[in-house]
Amino acid sequence: MFPCVSDFRLDPILYKKCQNDAARICHTHGWNETSEFMPPGAVFSCLYRHAYRTEMQGRRLSRDCKTEVQRILHQRALDVKLDPELQQRCMTDLGKWCSEKTEAGQELECLQDHLDDLVSNCRDVVGNLTELESEDIQIEALLIRACEPVIQSYCHEVADNQIDTGDLMECLVANKHQKEMNEKCAVGVTHFQLIQMKDFRFSYKFKMACKEDVLKLCPNIKKKVDVVICLSTIVRNDTLQEVKDQRVSVKCRKQLRVEELEMSEDIRLEPELYESCRQDIKQHCQNVVFGNAQVIECLKENKKRLTSHCHQKVFRLQETEMMDPELDFQLMRVCKQMIRRFCSKTDAKNLLQCLKQNKNSELMDPKCKQMITKRQITQNTDYRLNPVLRKACKADIPKFCQGILNNAKDDNELEGQVISCLKLKYADQRLSPDCEGQIIVILQESALDYRLDPQLQLQCTDEIPQLCAEEVAAQEQTGQVEECLKINLLKINSEGCKKEVLNILKESKADIFVDPVLHTACALDIKHQCAAIPPGRGRQMSCLMEALQDKRVRLQPECKKRLQDRIDMWSYAAKVAPAEGFSDLAGQVFTSPAKNYILSMLAMCVVLLFLMGLLCGRITKRVTQELKDRKPWVVPLSKDRKGYIQIN
């Protein structure tokens, strides 16, 4: 790929521009001088070695000379025969690994693919050439020719620069999925990305931005993917601990983000994940093409069927993506326009939260809405996949749900058990304000879409399709599946499913907003009868119940019907699942249609007890006084003792 120029007197412009550099760096006074110490071609080889040096590495070529050296390289790159030095040092490896690779450019690519298997001398020279490629990809003539349409459409500005510093390859990677991208160019760009994973020095921009950070924070790590993981972990820990002066420099953090985003696009760029899931990919994603994170998305969709090791890796990946949604390639691709519309000023870490808040907007793109729902379903399978909930409920979870945590396995979903636990504590009004706020959001969302309630799906696997097939098939989920299960509560035989539906009924008492069907039916009545009543803690529900009992109030017919349905359901729930504590008992009383009667009877009992206490107190006081007024008894002593003993 990199030619050896034997006689530079044939290129007068190069001779003129580099004469001083040759004398200063290569210790020659004239290029027409040749000897056994300075054979033909040696001067250009010397200039070539110094063309890509940095200031820290010492002597560098002048700008004009470097431009001419690059020009020669670009011109001669059309002749893609291997560099003689590479040919000489890698003869054995070429025969061993690349004997069938005879087409132009294939030999170097083959050596790069087998970099870890090469002998030391060959590995060094292949590494050096790959490092140079990363700075100036235009040396790769075949790749540049294949990528010409993309370069002309999207990368012409960086391609026109005389001195490339990795910008052109970065541009090609960023536009890898544009319609102008042909298969040859895409394969070449992906191949170069895969080669870069073997050594962080092969990514010129990353190397220049993070070299000092790597030496200080991640020494002795060579593979790029390991360096990225090392630096990313440090950045994440410093961010979580709110460290004022982060250990990773600003310029490195900026380039690190570019590398992380590139890696999220293709599972092959994350070797550890790829190797762990290789068999699962063959089994479940055989017909899915690499790129655009399609294989990663396929693994997520088949997560329950993955092998244990692959499942753990996918869970960790999802945990990282939920903390940093920008790394979720599919989400960012599908919702690109919606992010611009709704979340342009939102911090990157809060993008998913912003999209969730705007999910039901009339302007929301249907495909993006579908993707948001998929991510919500994932989040609700495990509280660890919901960073906002995890932070808000950090005190409540160990306090109320420790038993579930004790039985949990690392990197395996809890199937919504912790969230279900928190829902019940919300119904009992025992959560902290921050945690309660997040649980209300989850309750509202899952009430509209049953798929966001993993425990309901798990326990009612058979009942949902049997009893509510029509509601499940609806294009838009508006709470009809949950309503169907409530209506058919008497037909449910499974104890697990029945318990989940009863829990939903219990939760709906705490806030009418988590009962979308009832809330929709009673929206006008809430506005007219309960406008001054703040939502939450069952206050608006109690207000509607009182309005239902008040003969002077005329509720909307649909609201009245739905309320009566709820009363019947709650009455049945009270019989099937008696109150487990005082809070449950109080809740049943306050939502009972006979609430006033029950409270009146309780008040009468309290008054009667009080009167009985007063009466008993008077009688006891009179008896005590009589005892005090009574004469003492006198008992005579025995014969041998004189006197009496007085007993009061």
SS (HEC) of 547-571: HHHCCCCCCCHHHHHHHHHHHHHHH
Instruction: Tell me if 357 sits within 8 A of 402, measured CB to CB.
Output: no
% of the chain beyond a pLDDT of 90: 49
Tell me the per-residue pLDDT of 279-332, one tens digit each, with 9 for 90 and over: 999 999 999 999 899 999 999 999 999 999 999 999 999 999 999 999 999 999
pLDDT digits (tens, 9 = 90+) for 235-249: 989 987 888 899 999
For residues 631 and 602, membership in a common domain is answered with yes
> Does 580 lie in the same domain as 517?
yes
Instruction: Estimate the share of the chain in helix, then strand, then coil, as percent rounded to the nearest 5.
Output: 65, 0, 30
Whether 592 is in a domain gets the answer yes
Residue 603, pLDDT score: 75
Distance CA 189, CA 176 (A): 8
- The better pLDDT of the pair 333, 20 is held by 333
Together in a domain, 583 and 602: no
Q: What is the pLDDT of residue 312?
A: 93
pLDDT at 412 over 80: no
- pLDDT band per the 50, 70, 90 thresholds, residue 3: very low
Is the pLDDT reported for residue 541 higher than 80?
A: yes
Tokens of 394: 């950090």
Structure tokens, 597: 């009667």
Comparing 273-287, 364-378, 571-585, 623-637, the range with the smallest average pLDDT is: 623-637
SS3 category, 6: coil
Cβ within 8 Å of residue 482, ≥6 positions away: 447, 450, 456, 504, 517
How far is it, in rounded angstroms, from Cα 180 to Cα 293? 19
Burial class (CB in 10 A: 0-12, 13-18, 19+), 116: exposed
What is the number of structural domains in the chain? Answer: 2
Q: Are residues 547 and 561 in the same domain?
A: yes
Q: What is the pLDDT of residues 416-448, one digit of tens each?
A: 899 999 998 998 888 999 999 999 999 999 999
pLDDT-derived band of residue 78, with 50, 70 and 90 as boundaries?
very low
Is residue 266 one of the residues assigned to a domain? no
Range 562-574 average pLDDT: 87
Burial of 615 (0-12, 13-18, 19+ CB in 10 A): exposed
Residue 1 has pLDDT above 50, yes or no: no
In a domain, 631, yes or no: yes
For residue 551, the enclosing domain spans 513-596
Residues 567 and 551 placed together within one structural domain of the fold: yes
Domain for residue 396, yes or no? no
Please determine, for residue 27, whether its predicted confidence score (pLDDT) is greater than 80: no
Determine which of 355-364, 504-513, 549-558 has the lowest per-residue pLDDT on average: 504-513
Mean pLDDT within 222-228: 92
Residues 589, 622 within the same domain? no
Instruction: Indicate whether 584 and 528 sit together in one domain.
Output: yes
Mark whether 551 and 524 lie in a shared domain: yes
What pLDDT, on the 0 to 100 scale, is given for residue 363? 95
Weakest-pLDDT range from 53-67, 169-183, 371-385, 608-622: 608-622
Task: Give dist(CA 109, CA 125) in Å, integer.
Answer: 13
pLDDT band at 607 (very low <50, low <70, confident <90, very high): confident
The reply to whether 354 falls in a domain is no
Per the domain annotation, does 524 fall within a domain?
yes
Give the C-alpha separation, 163 to 160, whole Å.
9
Q: Is 242 left (phi over 0), alpha (psi -120 to 50) or beta?
A: left
Confidence of residue 502 (pLDDT cuts 50, 70, 90): very high
Is residue 276 pLDDT above 90, yes or no?
Answer: yes
Residues 538 and 602 in one domain: no
pLDDT in tens, 129-162: 888 788 777 777 778 888 999 999 999 888 776 5
- Are 519 and 512 spatial neighbours (Cβ–Cβ below 8 Å)? yes
Residue 178 · residue 150 · CB < 8 Å: yes
Residue 588's pLDDT band (boundaries 50, 70, 90)? low
Q: Considering 571, 596, 621, which residue would you say is the last residue of a domain?
A: 596
The per-residue pLDDT for 7 is: 53
| Mean pLDDT of the 186-215 span | 91
- Flag whether pLDDT at 6 surpasses 50: no
590 & 605 share domain: no
For residues 16-27, average pLDDT: 84
Let me know if residue 542 belongs to a domain. yes
| Within a domain: 456 | no
pLDDT digits (tens, 9 = 90+) for 318-373: 999 999 999 999 999 999 999 999 999 999 999 999 999 999 999 999 999 999 99
Cβ neighbours of 23 (radius 10 Å):
14
